[in-house]
Copies of this chain bind each other. A is one copy, B any other.
């Protein structure tokens, strides 16, 4: 007979003790297990072209154009629908990507190693704001920026991190940034400044031309999401370490592809439990309304899965000006999440709760019993390909996937 409580303690202990270190930047095809030139990784659980949302389709087309595999939308679509180019979740390849999360073979990716448990995780580079692939934009301007990121920023970051003695400790960075008003998902402003500052001497010491070094530092400093992708890879490394514990009801993946919300559970192997994505409730940029919103999308829910993001909202009262609400709402969000989690994080602490650890390790039993689903902070994509971000807000997964997972758990263990 499995001791479920003990299994959960083991799972969250593995999650919380994980120390993910950003070690390098490399081409996806050179480092991501199973990556190849005819494969695109994407956010969320598995999806086909036919069921894909507007922004997911736009990002798929953009990545195919970026790789030079086709010259236009129709050509790109044909490659995918024929199966010549395959789609697989980032999560099937130890990777994560924000929003559409589409990652192709020649893209530069971050390499994050979990020093505690030995596993590795990957994420693409953050593109900043405006028209970007992750929100489904695929114009020439978008592809130009991706090329600059791949040919200039990627190699400079790679050389900078190679020179670094110990890499960049993502857990330590998050510990600091949660004391500086970040929650690590929608607000990564402090973390991105820490990241830029820590990288700056390393970048200055590379052999790249001064102008290129300056342009990379400017890009990092101007992007309050610079560190989101290494943070996501760090959270992925923590969550993967907690996966596969027999008898554990702890959630180790939450991810959305714009159509389906997918979840995986530590003690239930690689099975996805999926349901329809919700529509985020939040603030829209001028000129947009909820009518324009795509369904919830992105692997960035790995942050909530690891105990930050909406779970650490109390650390980030300034976020309410971005996603709506009051400072008290931010406190309440975190307090509610203690109800459905197994532990309080040793390293992620919340000053305004007198340094109480953030609620960590979602237990599907508690979710179903209390009817409280996890809170998620998220960006909101336009529903049509090519437009981009239209707002930011809050969303929750469908409770059905927790109920279904609990039934599956009963079938497996009872």
Smallest CB separation, A251 vs chain B (Å): 29
Tell whether, in the assembled complex, residue B201 and residue A218 are in contact, meaning their CB atoms are under 8 Å apart. Answer: yes
Tell whether, in the assembled complex, residue A201 and residue B221 are in contact, meaning their CB atoms are under 8 Å apart. Answer: yes
Smallest CB separation, A369 vs chain B (Å): 31
Copy number in the complex reads 2
Bound: A194/B202 CA distance, A:
17
Q: Which of A97-105, A205-213, A242-250 contacts B (4 or more CB under 8 A)?
A: A205-213
Tell whether, in the assembled complex, residue A205 and residue B197 are in contact, meaning their CB atoms are under 8 Å apart. Answer: no
Bound: A201/B318 CA distance, A:
27
The answer to the question of A357 belonging to the interface, with a C-beta cut-off of 8 Å to chain B, is no
The answer to the question of A333 belonging to the interface, with a C-beta cut-off of 8 Å to chain B, is no
Which B residues lie within 8 Å of A190 (CB)? 180-181, 190, 193
Most buried by B among A182, A206, A327, A352: A352
The answer to the question of A321 belonging to the interface, with a C-beta cut-off of 8 Å to chain B, is yes
The answer to the question of A77 belonging to the interface, with a C-beta cut-off of 8 Å to chain B, is no
Bound: A181/B317 CA distance, A:
10
Smallest CB separation, A298 vs chain B (Å): 24
Q: Which of B198, B210, B318 contacts A204 (CB 8 A)?
A: B210
Bound: A373/B213 CA distance, A:
49
The answer to the question of A217 belonging to the interface, with a C-beta cut-off of 8 Å to chain B, is yes
Bound: A189/B317 CA distance, A:
18
Chain A's interface: helix, strand, loop or mixed, by majority?
helix
Q: Which 8 A-B pairs have the closest CB atoms?
A: A317-B351, A193-B193, A200-B200, A179-B318, A197-B221, A201-B218, A196-B197, A318-B351
Bound: A320/B182 CA distance, A:
18
Q: Which of B180, B214, B352 contacts A180 (CB 8 A)?
A: B180
The answer to the question of A326 belonging to the interface, with a C-beta cut-off of 8 Å to chain B, is yes
Q: Which of B176, B200, B204, B351 contacts A197 (CB 8 A)?
A: B200
Closest to A202 in B: B214
Interface hits, A140-156 → B, CB 8 Å: none
Bound: A189/B177 CA distance, A:
10
The answer to the question of A3 belonging to the interface, with a C-beta cut-off of 8 Å to chain B, is no
Which B residues lie within 8 Å of A355 (CB)? 321
Which B residues lie within 8 Å of A351 (CB)? 181, 317-318, 320-321, 327
Bound: A352/B353 CA distance, A:
12
The answer to the question of A354 belonging to the interface, with a C-beta cut-off of 8 Å to chain B, is yes
Q: Which of B197, B206, B211, B354 contacts A193 (CB 8 A)?
A: B197
Bound: A190/B195 CA distance, A:
12
Bound: A215/B205 CA distance, A:
9
